[in-house]
Amino acid sequence: MRVLVAMSGGVDSSVAAALLKEEGYEVIGVTLDFGVRVDSGCCGVESAKRVAGKLGVPHYTLNLKDLFHREIVLPFCREYSLGRTPNPCIRCNRTVKFEVLLRKAGEFGADLIATGHYARVEFDRALGRYTLKKGVDRAKDQSYMLYLLTQEQLGRATFPLGDLTKEEVRAIARRMGLHTAGRPESQEICFVPDGRYPELVGRYFPEALRPGPILDTEGEVLGRHKGIAYYTVGQRRGLGLALGRPLYVVRIDPERNAIVVGGKDEVLAEGLLASDVNLVSVPEISEPMKVKAKVRYRHPEADATVFPLEDGKLLVKFSEPQEAVTPGQSVVFYLGDVVVGGGTIEEAWREGEEVASRAQGGP
C-alpha cells in the first residue's frame, strides 16, 4: 500500500516515515514549503531530503508559500487586529496541510496520508464515523490541533506515533541512525519564530498598533496602551499600570480601540459561545451534552455542558469558572480519549447573559 508522508525535517515526521517503511508500506515523502525559517522546525526541506535519502524513499517539495500566506498568515494578522487571538496551526492542518496532502495523494496514487502528529484515528462501526483520539503520550497529545479535520480527511489519514511516547520516538530515531534524533522542538508559531506578533500584525494592519485607552470594567480610563496587537485576554504583564493590585486583560474592544482590565475574578468566565463548529465523533449535538472542554492547547480540561443553539453555535457552560477564555482560540470537547468536536470561541459567557435564552434546553 502506498502512503504519502508529510516530512517536515523534524524527528516526529522522520520516525513516522521510517516506521511506515519498516511495516512494508511504499512511502513517498513530501515536504510542504511554507517559506518560513528552517530552524522553526516546520519545513526544513534539506533535513527532510536527508532523512528520505537515509530511508531510501522518494522525496518531493511542494511550494505552498503563496497559499500559506493567503490562507494562514493574513487571516491570523486580521484576527489579531480585531482583538482576537487565533490558533493558526489548527486552521493550517485542515485548510492547507491535509487539503494539499489529500490532493497530492490522488496524483501519486497513494491510499493514505500520514503525519507525525501524536494522535490516533479509528473507525467506529457503531457510529459509522471515523473518530479522533488522544495520543498515548498525554504530554505530547495533539488531538486538540486536529479537531477541524473532516471525515474524509480522517478516513485517509494515519498517525504512526499515536501509540508512542516522545522518548520512544527519539529512541527509534537513534536506532535507525536518523540525524533528527536529537533535534530540538519548536514551541512557537512557525511564521513568527521569535514571538514578535505585533510587528507582523502591524505590517498588514497598522491600525492594530495605534495607542488607545486602558479602561476598567466600569469604563474609567486607567492609562494608555501601545496598540491592541500587543495584548491578549488574561495577560497580566506589560500593562504599564501601577495601581497597587494585579490587573489582567478582561477583554479587547477594537471598536473603541480599548483594552479593558480587571481583577482576577473578572477574568473568570462561567462559559463561552462557540461558532464554526466541527463535530467529529457525533453527527450533531441536539441536546445538552456533558463533556470535558479544553479552551487552549496547553489548558487543562474542565467539566462542562454543551448546549446547542438555534443558529448552529454552541453554548458551553463550565462546572467551575475558567480563566482567560479568549475569543479566537478554539474550544475542543472530549469524552474520555475521544474528540467530540470543537469550535472557535466567539466570546466569554457569564451567568444571566442573553445568549443563554437561545439555547435548546439551555442552562
- Among 42, 43, 89, 190, the active-site one is 190
In terms of phi and psi (left: phi > 0; alpha: psi -120 to 50; beta: otherwise), the region of 105 is alpha
Cα distance between residue 127 and residue 6, in whole Å: 29
The residue whose grid cell reads 517539495 is: 61
CB 14 within 8 A of CB 7: yes
Q: Which of 42, 43, 89, 92 is catalytic?
A: 92
Cβ atoms of residues 183 and 10 within 8 Å: yes
Rounded to whole angstroms, how far apart are CA atoms 310 and 289?
16
- The reply to whether 77 belongs to the active site is no
Extract the C-alpha cell encoding 144.
Answer: 486538540
Neighbours of 56 (CB within 10 A): 8
43 is catalytic: no
Residue among 266, 270, 288 nearest 333 (CA): 288
d(CA 92, CA 84): 17
CB count in 10 Å sphere of residue 219 = 10
Which segments of the chain does DSSP mark as H helices, in order?
11-22, 45-55, 65-68, 74-81, 88-92, 99-108, 151-155, 166-175, 197-204, 264-267
Residue 220 burial by CB count (10 A; 0-12/13-18/19+): exposed, middle or buried?
exposed
| Radius of gyration from C-alpha coordinates of the chain | 22
The helix/strand/coil state of 208 is helix
In the block, cell 526541506 appears at 45
CA distance 91 to 113: 18
Catalytically annotated residues: 92, 190
